[in-house]
Amino acid sequence: MLPRIVIFLIVGLVLPATPARSSDQDFLTAEKLYRAKEFSRAEQLYSQVDSNNANYPVAQLRLGTIYYLTERPVQAEKCFSIYLRFKESPEAYCLLAGAQFNQRKFNLATSSAQRALKLDHNFAKAYTVLGMIHTAEKDFANAQAAYREALKLNDNDSDTWFMLGQALFLHDDFAEAARAFDRALEINPQSVRIYDDLARTKDIIGDPKGAEECYKEGLKASRAQNFFDPHIYVGYGEFLLKLDRLADSQSVVEEGLRTAPRNAGLHYELSKVQFRMNHLQEAAQEGETALSLGGPDYKVDFLLAQIYTAMGNSQEASKHASRAAQAALNSNR
């Protein structure tokens, strides 16, 4: 599995709260929850801030950031756009660019990043966003140039080193990618996503011991945080499955599901493990759950076709094989 280039956490770009000038206790409570990264509860309170309230712009900024971090870019884009009507800033334009990028609106994201640079031509994060866009467009030379420009302005930015590592990974420069991820971890040793991608990179370059150590450290970091990242559980489960350590893989994935029982990716991984264990009924159930939660996915349909074939259910096997073929065809168009 390739690194996740579409989940861009702009750490450090959240603007300071505007002091509340009203007695709106809900807003003040939301601010405390937000700083504690208790995003679900904070979201409920921010959503109740009326547009006539003096705290409304900041509430929209916070909501946009919460939506952004929880992979709801459409809602995030709307909130950041509202905030920018009240106050323009390079930080907010970069957040808007990130939300647009996550919807593959690359032209709009480029425009937003450029507007950030117009406000502050030394704003390093804007170059990071441009690097992300070039990476997604497979323009690796310009991607690396943008990331290097960002690092000239701020060499101590974990996000930019991480994104550079992903660009290098996608360009098959795995040794350099590992070095970039290592540098990112030096700066931010509690980042779950960096451990995840460094583990994948170490696995590819033939260092399974180092890869597993990264996964274990990533799980420790995940358990210590309020914000749950399922990708480390999916990645570690996948890694252990490849090593034929089925019970260990099952244990890791099930741990993730205890925290995120509606995560389609985790159910898919558990389906793979159960299939390898020859627990066909359980494997089919997990695969169907993954589809019901995550929607059409040719990988899940392909797996279910194999499972139902092993079960002797040719009708269901044919149905899922047909869906997988159609989905794969559509994805290549």
| Structure tokens given for 160 | 């930019």
Residue 267 lies in a domain: no
Residue 152 lies in a domain: no
Give the mean pLDDT of 187-191: 95
Please identify which residue in the block is written with the tokens 């360009």.
171
DSSP, residue by residue, 90-101: HHHHHHHHHHHH
Give the mean pLDDT of 293-317: 96
Q: Quote the domain boundaries for residue 35.
A: 7-15+24-121
| Structure tokens given for 52 | 């006539």
Residue 66 lies in a domain: yes
Residue 302 lies in a domain: no
Would the pLDDT of 226 be above 80? no
Amino acid at 298: Y
Output the average pLDDT for the chain: 91
Give the mean pLDDT of 215-224: 94
In which region does residue 161 sit, left (phi positive, over 0), alpha (psi from -120 to 50) or beta (all else)? alpha
Residue 96 lies in a domain: yes
Q: What 8-state DSSP symbol labels residue 188?
A: -
| Predicted pLDDT at 154 | 96
Which helix (DSSP H) or strand (DSSP E) does residue 126 occupy?
A: helix 124-136
Is residue 74 packed enough to be buried (19+ CB in 10 Å), middle (13-18) or exposed (0-12)?
Answer: exposed
| Predicted pLDDT at 332 | 60
pLDDT band with cut points at 50, 70 and 90 for residue 329: confident
CA distances from 189 to 159, 183, 192 (A): 12, 10, 8
Q: What 8-state DSSP symbol labels residue 232?
A: H
| Predicted pLDDT at 288 | 98
Radius of gyration of the chain (CA): 21
Residue 111 lies in a domain: yes
Which helix (DSSP H) or strand (DSSP E) does residue 180 occupy?
A: helix 174-187
pLDDT in tens, 151-174: 999 999 999 999 999 999 999 999
Residue 319 lies in a domain: no
Give the mean pLDDT of 193-203: 97
Residue 103 lies in a domain: yes
| Predicted pLDDT at 9 | 45
pLDDT band with cut points at 50, 70 and 90 for residue 326: confident
| Predicted pLDDT at 328 | 72
| Predicted pLDDT at 2 | 43
Question: Could you tell me how many residues make up the chain?
Answer: 333
Residue 53 in contact with residue 45, Cβ under 8 Å?
A: no
pLDDT in tens, 280-296: 999 999 999 999 999 98
| Predicted pLDDT at 333 | 58
pLDDT band with cut points at 50, 70 and 90 for residue 71: confident
CA distances from 42 to 7, 55, 65, 74, 95 (A): 21, 14, 11, 19, 19
| Count of domains observed in the chain | 1
Would the pLDDT of 116 be above 60? yes
Amino acid at 24: D
DSSP, residue by residue, 200-230: HHHHHTT-HHHHHHHHHHHHHHHHT-SS--T
pLDDT in tens, 228-278: 889 999 999 999 999 999 999 999 999 999 999 999 999 999 999 999 999
If one compares 26 and 245, the residue with the highest pLDDT of the two is 245
DSSP, residue by residue, 233-295: HHHHHHHHHHTT-HHHHHHHHHHHHHH-TT-HHHHHHHHHHHHHTT-HHHHHHHHHHHHHHH-
pTM of the model: 0.79
| Predicted pLDDT at 133 | 96
CATH number of the domain bearing residue 73: 1.25.40.10
